[in-house]
Amino acid sequence: MAAPLLIPILGDQLTPDIASLRGADPENSILLMMEVADETTYVRHHKAKIAFILSAMRHHAERMRRIGWTVDYVRLDDPANSGSFTGEVARAIEGHRPSAINVTEAGEWRVRAMLEEWDGRFGLPVTIHEDDRFLCSHAEFDTWAAARKQLRMEFFYRDMRRKTGLLMTEAGEPEGGRWNYDTENRKPPPQRDLLMPQPIPFEPDGISREVLAMVAERFADHIGSLDNFHFAVTHEDALRQQDRFLDEALPRFGDYQDAMLTDEPFLWHSVLSPYINAGLLDPLALAQEVEQRYRAGTVPLNAAEGFIRQLIGWREYVRGVYWHEGPDYGRRNALGATRDLPGFYWTRETDMHCMAQAIGQTIDHAYAHHIQRLMITGNFALLAGIDPHQVHVWYLEVYADAYEWVEMPNTLGMALFADGGLLGSKPYAAGGAYINRMSDYCGKCRYDQKRRVGPDACPFNALYWDFLARNERKLARNPRLSMPYRNWDRMSEEDRTAIRAQAARFLKDLG
């Protein structure tokens, strides 16, 4: 028998037709799947995130064996485990004597560098395939970006709509005459409804229970709880979760995608991003199903367009920015923010009810929806001048869907404006009034969202004006901030001094 082909499958490549498998003969190929210490500890990942990825990997290995592939699976607790991808590939080469290595490109710069070293290290031909699960290739995005001074997602999204034909008319126009229905997707939260949709809570099977026990023992000092581990860990269950969202939540997703409610972590959100980013679900197939629901009349256009924009617009766009900007993107700090991340980001112990809610559900579920990440935890970090790299590491650690290619641009570019406006046209800064409008958090908080100064004043208010004041030289010319700066200038000197003193006291106590 000829020497086999070795095909490493990474933990976010849980797709049965991943590019590296095409053209390979299952009879003469070895799939190498590796649970390694380097990947579980390069940041201190949430316990549930580690458990989800490892359980999904083990289930995927079983799936691939059922359809005829030979899988060499290395468990994290294997005494012979070297702890790294490169070390396990070396062990596999020694054990299987392959003729060549086929691998699909990695999703982040750190792992890409490892893969590119293999050719010279092992003396075998190494073919790195582009990950075509994404609509936009690296070359296509680079060409798009080269023709523009500003990389605005809206224009990229329109190109993706044209490319896919999603929500387009036969005349090549956007469905409904508009590209974007975001203005219709900002309704404040409704009254709590006992019939509010909920994701399916999957009970851990034997494989998952074994993983959970190992994670509980091995990563006991990592953030997070395993008590609420109800992730789908198979392709079939991920599809069941997808159907639950499409049937029960999607019709109202558009209206309430920016809303927040106390003790309601999911609302009408899909909670599908962990499965999409790990490879268990196909984002294009999901977008096509959403379009079909709209055309069948069961989903309104604002909901269908808003969700499709997340899949083929924002998700593809932030990946393009990540790879286009290079590995130094993660160290950008345009506003010179240097304060350490407060300890309550790991404990939820704060009197700010909105922060306690967003952080608490993150600890409990390894999940928060996008508006909580952007306008609660991200907004606070922006206003308080927290070091962007520390915030980036926290987001990467705590969310089950967080891989560097998607998390880093969202954190540094969208939430913190640390790239100086490359990704977002303005800082997404807001005071207590916004949080009160889009949630019920403020009514349950010890702070008063209407007050700027005093012991009961909402910290977001003074911090908001202090943020504008201390960054005036860098931000005052931004046309989208002209109104708040005019309002700041209209305040009396006495009021401005009191607000900045209030912010200074809070930040001192924060340290």
Which CATH number is 439's domain given? 1.10.579.10
C-beta atoms surrounding 48 within 10 Å: 29
DSSP code for 109 = H
Whole-number Å distance between alpha carbons of 126 and 128 = 6
12 and 155 fall within a common domain: no
pLDDT classification of 91: cutoffs 50, 70, 90? very high
310 and 391 fall within a common domain: no
Please identify, among 257, 292, 325, the residue that sits at the C-terminal boundary of a domain: 325
Q: Which helix (H) or strand (E) holds 5?
A: strand 5-9
Establish how many alpha carbons lie within 13 A of residue 476's alpha carbon, considering only the half-sphere containing its beta carbon. Answer: 10
365 and 496 fall within a common domain: yes
Q: What distance separates the 2 farthest-apart alpha carbons in the chain? A: 85
Please identify, among 293, 325, 357, the residue that sits at the C-terminal boundary of a domain: 325
Which of the residue ranges 135-139, 150-154, 397-401, 464-468 would you say has the lowest mean pLDDT? Answer: 150-154
Task: Map residue 174 onto helix, strand or coil.
Answer: strand
* Spatial contact of 52 and 40, defined as CB atoms under 8 Å apart: no
Q: Is residue 28 part of a domain?
A: yes
Segment 48-61 shows an average pLDDT of 98
142 and 267 fall within a common domain: yes
Strands (E), 35-142: 70-74, 100-104, 126-129
Q: Sort 269 into a burial class: Cβ within 10 Å, 0-12 / 13-18 / 19+.
A: buried
Residue 391: the pLDDT is 98
Q: Is residue 229 part of a domain?
A: no
Mean pLDDT of the chain: 96
pLDDT classification of 84: cutoffs 50, 70, 90? very high
Q: What percent of the chain has pLDDT over 70?
A: 100
Q: Is residue 106 part of a domain?
A: yes
Looking at the DSSP bridge assignments, the partners of residue 448 are: 457
Q: Is residue 240 part of a domain?
A: yes
Q: Is residue 104 part of a domain?
A: yes
Whole-number Å distance between alpha carbons of 457 and 84 = 50
pLDDT of residue 32 exceeding 80, the answer is yes
CA-based radius of gyration for the chain: 24
Task: Map residue 487 onto helix, strand or coil.
Answer: helix
**CATH number of residue 274's parent domain:** 1.25.40.80
Please identify, among 129, 156, 190, the residue that sits at the C-terminal boundary of a domain: 129
372 and 505 fall within a common domain: yes
Q: Which helix (H) or strand (E) holds 29?
A: strand 29-34
Q: Which helix (H) or strand (E) holds 474?
A: helix 472-475
Q: Sort 6 into a burial class: Cβ within 10 Å, 0-12 / 13-18 / 19+.
A: buried
201 and 70 fall within a common domain: no
Whole-number Å distance between alpha carbons of 185 and 306 = 8
Q: Is residue 330 part of a domain?
A: no
367 and 303 fall within a common domain: no
273 and 205 fall within a common domain: yes
Question: Nearest-5° angle of CA 126, CA 127, CA 128?
Answer: 115
Q: What is the DSSP string of 278-307?
A: HTSS-HHHHHHHHHHHHHTTSS-HHHHHHH
- Taking only the tens place, the pLDDT of each residue in 255-301 is 999 999 999 999 999 999 999 999 999 999 999 999 999 999 999 99
378 and 274 fall within a common domain: no
Q: Is residue 338 part of a domain?
A: no
Give the structural domain span for 402.
344-510
Which of the residue ranges 40-49, 167-176, 192-201, 238-247 would you say has the lowest mean pLDDT? Answer: 192-201
191 and 307 fall within a common domain: yes
- Taking only the tens place, the pLDDT of each residue in 177-219 is 999 998 888 899 888 777 789 999 999 999 999 999 999 999 9
Integer CA distances (angstroms), 461 to 430, 452, 503, in order: 8, 5, 9
Q: What share of the chain is helix, strand, coil (3-state, %, to 5)?
A: 55, 5, 40
506 and 375 fall within a common domain: yes
Residue 511: the pLDDT is 72
**CATH number of residue 26's parent domain:** 3.40.50.620
Q: Is residue 337 part of a domain?
A: no
DSSP code for 4 = P
pLDDT of residue 330 exceeding 90, the answer is yes
Task: State phi, psi for 71 to the nearest 5 degrees.
Answer: -120, 125
Q: Is 417 left (phi over 0), alpha (psi -120 to 50) or beta?
A: left
Instruction: For CA atoms 248, 251, 257, 262, give the dihedral sign.
Output: negative
Question: Please, which residues have CB within 8 angstroms of residue 271's CB and are 6 or more apart in sequence?
Answer: 199, 241, 245, 367
Task: Map residue 423 onto helix, strand or coil.
Answer: coil
The count of domains in the chain is: 3
Residue 1: the pLDDT is 63
84 and 64 fall within a common domain: yes
